[in-house]
Amino acid sequence: MDLIIKNLGATPYEETWQMMKDYIAHNPSQDEIWITEHPAIFTTGLNKKDIKIPDSDIPHVFVDRGGKITYHGPGQVIVYLLINLLKNQLTIRQLVSIIEKSIIELLIKNNIKGHSKKEAPGVYVLEKKIASIGLRIKNNFTYHGLSLNVAMDLSPFLLISPCGIDNLEMTQVSDLNKDYNNSEIISELTKLLQFNLSMHHE
């Protein structure tokens, strides 16, 4: 799979969300992966049932990805995947599995044992969640993607039921491996995503 990788640096959430929608609206021939980080924000996906919006100064926005409520903030690596499923002969379930596999392999390289759960997309360390996945499909393209907790303030997660799961605890790379390197994590994660996507394509 021919992928373009773009490191956007820190970006406002809603601006980047609009950029994704604009990109896929033109039926691009190119698949892309965008790396970014957002200022503190709560986002709620299309599954709004039983969602309680936190009473907080942190902004909240309803978005068009799958899933329920989550938090984004500095110190979290965000990867957006703008991929043509039809062209690459991928199902959404296969893409989610590739994302989970790539994160788990990244964690192994950082001496962290992660695993996925069939009933709850994402990656977990023991019973704590370290990475979340939320996608949307339009015109055969995916957008939105994954968030990996690296070195952030996790306390805003206490104000919500992350991904709609009550009492779900969150964790992050820096709490599990003090020798982590943020730039290496970003580089290695993009390499693993590229490799695992290309292996499927072959």
**Whole-model pTM?**
0.95
| Arithmetic mean of pLDDT, 148-154 | 98
Each residue's pLDDT tens digit, 82-117: 999 999 999 999 999 999 999 999 999 999 999 999
Question: 21-73 pLDDT, tens per residue?
Answer: 999 999 899 999 999 999 999 999 988 777 889 999 999 999 999 888 999 99
What letter represents residue 7's amino acid?
N
Structural domains in the chain, CATH included, are 3-201 (3.30.930.10)
Cα–chain-centroid distance for residue 163? Answer: 12
User: Position 87: which residue type?
Assistant: K
Amino acid code (one letter) for 70: T
Mean local confidence (pLDDT), 6-15? 98
Catalytic residue status for 163? yes
Q: What is the pLDDT of residue 48?
A: 78
Return the sign of the alpha-carbon dihedral for residues 51, 97, 28, 36.
positive
> What was the pLDDT predicted at 164?
79
CA nearest to 149, candidates 193, 180, 195: 180
- The two tokens of residue 51 are 């969602």
| Identified catalytic residue from 81, 133, 163, 185 | 163
